[in-house]
């Protein structure tokens, strides 16, 4: 996909303002769901910022992804309330269903991306996960396995 025309438009929008690198990267990321090496290089050239600086910012903040996302994104809340309500077991159960090894965060077929995130703010429903935009609360290992499996149907 040629994303350059879209990036050009974004650069035009931000060019004259100060402190714009983060919002610019956020907008560029929203085109493809991640920041490709190529796109970061292109921004560096166009904005006159060193490539290393862009890469430094992109790796500092957890919202920037350097790899493409799966079709569905599972976010497991790792807030305190969820932790004391057994979020670790929820993670293990999901990872078992998805057959993810060690530090893998994506299924081989690219169907699911698995991310553990800071508090989702639904502490009274702990433990909580989000799949795409939908929140599921008061989970058990069994319930969550069924929920994840239901996406394959």
Partner 1 sequence: MKQCIIKIGMASCGRAAGAEEIYKSAEDHINKHNLDCRLMKTACIGMCFAEPLIEFIMSDMPDITYGRVTSEEISGLIDSYLAGKPQEEKVIISRESTSNFDIQGQENDSLKKQTRIVLRNCGIIDPESIEDYINRQGYMALQKALKEMDPEKVVQEILASRLRGRGGAGFPTGLKWEIAANSRIGEKKYIVCNADEGDPGAFMDRSVLEGDPHSVIEGMLIGAFAIGADEGYIYVRAEYPLAIKHLKKAINDAYERNLLGKNILNSSFSFDLHIKEGAGAFVCGEETALIASIEGKRGMPNIRPPYPAESGLFGQPTNINNVETFANIAWIILNGSEAFNKLGTERSKGTKVFALAGKIKKSGLIEVPMGVPLRHVIYDIGGGMKENSPFKAVQLGGPSGGCIPASKLDTIVDYDSINQTGAIMGSGGMVVMDEKTCVVDVAKFFLTFTQNESCGKCTFCRIGTRRMLEILTRITEGKGKIEDIKKLEDLAEMINKGSLCGLGQTAPNPVLTTLKYFREEYEEHIIDKKCRAGVCNALINYSVLADKCVGCTACARVCPVQCISGEVKKPHFIHQNQCIRCGACFNACKFEAIVKK
Provide the token pair at 115: 């991310």
CB of 31 to partner 1, least distance (A): 16
Rule CB under 8 A: say whether 60 interacts with partner 1.
yes
| DSSP for residue 123 | G
Output 17 or 153, the one with its CB closest to partner 1.
17
User: Is 114 near partner 1 (CB under 8 A)?
Assistant: no
Cβ contacts of 56 within 8 Å, gap of 6 or more = none
Residue 33 within binding range of partner 1, rule CB under 8 A = no
For residues 105 and 145, is the Cβ–Cβ distance under 8 A? no
Residues across the chain = 153
Between 1 and 142, name the residue whose CB sits nearer to partner 1. 142
Residue 95 in the binding site for partner 1 (CB under 8 A) = no
Nearest residue to 142 via CA among 75, 81, 96, 78: 96
The residue ranges that bind partner 1 (CB under 8 A) are: 18-23, 25-26, 56-57, 60-64, 78-81, 83-85, 89, 92, 96, 117-126, 128, 135, 137, 140-142
């Amino acid at each position: 996909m040629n994303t350059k025309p879209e990036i050009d438009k974004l650069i035009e929008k931000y060019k004259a303002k100060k402190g714009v690198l983060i919002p610019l990267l956020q907008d560029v990321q929203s085109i493809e769901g991640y920041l490709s090496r190529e796109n970061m290089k292109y921004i560096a050239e166009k904005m006159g910022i060193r490539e290393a600086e862009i890469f430094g910012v992109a790796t500092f903040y957890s919202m920037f992804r350097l790899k493409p996302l799966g079709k569905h994104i599972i976010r497991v809340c790792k807030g305190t309330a969820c932790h004391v309500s057994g979020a670790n077991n929820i993670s293990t159960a999901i990872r078992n269903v998805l057959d993810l090894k060690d530090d893998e965060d994506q299924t081989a077929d690219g169907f699911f991306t698995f991310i553990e995130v800071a508090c989702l703010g639904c502490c009274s429903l702990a433990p909580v996960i989000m799949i795409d935009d939908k929140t599921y609360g008061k989970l058990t290992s069994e319930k969550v396995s069924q929920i994840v499996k239901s996406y394959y149907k």
